[in-house]
Amino acid sequence: MMLSPLLRTLCFALASGGLLLMVLEGLIWRFTPRSVELTSTRSPRLTERWFLSATLSARILPWLLACGALVPAYLRGEDNTSAERVALPCIAVASLVLLWISAAIFRSAITSLRTQRYCSGCQSTGRTVAGRQVHVHHGSHSLLAVAGIFRSRLIVSEHLLEEHHVAAPALEVALSHEAAHASHHDNLKLLLLSLLPRVGFSSARRSSLDDRWRLAAELAADHESTAGDAHRSLLLADLLVVLARDRVAAPAVMVTLLSAPDHLRLRVEQLLRATAPRTTGTASLARDSRLSILSLSAALLALAGACALFGHSAAELLLHLG
């Protein structure tokens, strides 16, 4: 198919970005450790940030490389300003990637609207529970959650409050857990991750990057809500099991941080360790972070250099398939 220089460039940017996304996400997914492994050696919140950065890097870097290195390299070497034949498979890949991006953005926009609508519906149901302002969810299922994107709200189901399923101290720890999610804008991070197209690699032994971040976010919220207190840890662990048993059909439309039943076991076991997770000193954490950032920057520079050097050849190969 004959395409103008602008369409050719767009086609190359989309196809190369999509291919780089698969490669980079695959590499980061393969070489990123598991959430529980990291949490045992550093602070749970730092682990959560680490996973968020890794997951976002896997989603953003391919586009930065495609638009910031490959496309300029292609444009520098391209002297044909007239329409040129482009291979159909390349156009098909570019179209699929465009559809993929549009669908992810559309779906995230609908998710945001639904969430905002749900939060607006909660306005009239405010109540103070365990010293916190919560919104009561009218429904027959047990629900303890945080909803909202920018202004998060704690949601507790009427069912839990009225039938005294949960003792007051346990409810206080659970609300602290949800408040930790709210104060760290975990829903906004979740939305950001769903906004960017992803491959979502996962296997029996290695869960997806999103799942690892979700578990890390839960472990961090657990750690903050229990504050290293063994009694609070036991209360939360007990409540997790009680709510898992009490689980009844919930609204079919929700994204939750806890995505795999296995996360429940890992969280309870982590809580039962009772002692606060071993953290390295501030100085060594700062050194670790600096080292990670330096390694990542060096790898990125090397990759950007390779893209800039071989960008035009890669473009010719991709657009004309040899």
Partner 1 sequence: MTESTILPAETTDSGTVTNASARLGHREREVMDIVWAEGSGTVEEVSQRLPIRLAYTTVMTTLDRLFKKGLLLREKHDRAFRYSPAVSPQEVEGHRARALVDRFLQSTTAQPEMLLSCLVDALGEYDGAMLDQLEHKIREARESLNTAEADAKEASR
Q: Which residue has the tokens 């890097």?
A: 57
**Residue 148 interacting with partner 1 (CB under 8 A):** yes
Judged by beta carbon, residue 166 or residue 315, the one nearer partner 1 is: 166
**Residue 9 interacting with partner 1 (CB under 8 A):** no
Query: What are the angstrom distances between the C-alpha of 264 and each of 41, 153, 236, 268, 306?
Result: 20, 23, 11, 6, 43
**Residue 179 interacting with partner 1 (CB under 8 A):** no
CB of 123 to partner 1, least distance (A): 16
**Residue 28 interacting with partner 1 (CB under 8 A):** no
Which phi-psi region, left, alpha or beta, contains residue 152 (left: φ > 0; alpha: ψ -120 to 50)? beta
Tell me which of 128, 245, 283, 322 binds partner 1, using CB under 8 A: 245
| Residue 44, CA atoms < 13 Å, CB-side half-sphere | 24
Query: What are the angstrom distances between the C-alpha of 138 and each of 122, 127, 151, 157, 158?
Result: 10, 13, 21, 6, 6
- Contact region with partner 1 (CB under 8 A), list: 73-81, 205-213, 278-286, 305-313: 205-213
**Residue 142 interacting with partner 1 (CB under 8 A):** yes
- Contact region with partner 1 (CB under 8 A), list: 7-15, 42-50, 54-62, 244-252: 244-252
**Between residue 257 and residue 276, which ones bind partner 1 under the rule CB under 8 A?**
257-266, 268-269, 272, 274
Q: Residue 9 and residue 174: Cα distance in Å, rounded?
A: 52
| Site string (278-307) toward partner 1, x via CB under 8 A | ------------------------------
**Joined tokens for residue 276:** 């606060």
CB of 110 to partner 1, least distance (A): 3
- Contact region with partner 1 (CB under 8 A), list: 2-10, 47-55, 66-74, 145-153: 145-153
Residue 29 dihedral angles phi and psi, to the nearest 5°: -60, -40
Q: Residue 31 and residue 47: Cα distance in Å, rounded?
A: 15
Judged by beta carbon, residue 197 or residue 311, the one nearer partner 1 is: 197
Instruction: Give which of 302, 306, 315, 301 is closest to 16, Cα–Cα.
Output: 315
| Site string (180-199) toward partner 1, x via CB under 8 A | -x----xx--xx-----x-x
**Between residue 49 and residue 108, which ones bind partner 1 under the rule CB under 8 A?**
99-100, 103-104, 106-107
212, 193 contact by CB (below 8 A): no
With CB under 8 A, what is the number of residues at the site for partner 1? 78
**Residue 147 interacting with partner 1 (CB under 8 A):** yes
- CA 284, distance to chain mean position in Å, is 26
Which pairs with CB-CB distance under 8 Å and at least 24 residues apart come from 226-232?
226/173, 226/271, 228/275, 228/276, 230/274, 230/275, 232/173
- CA 303, distance to chain mean position in Å, is 24
Tell me which of 168, 204, 275, 282 binds partner 1, using CB under 8 A: 204
CB of 292 to partner 1, least distance (A): 22
**Residue 243 interacting with partner 1 (CB under 8 A):** yes
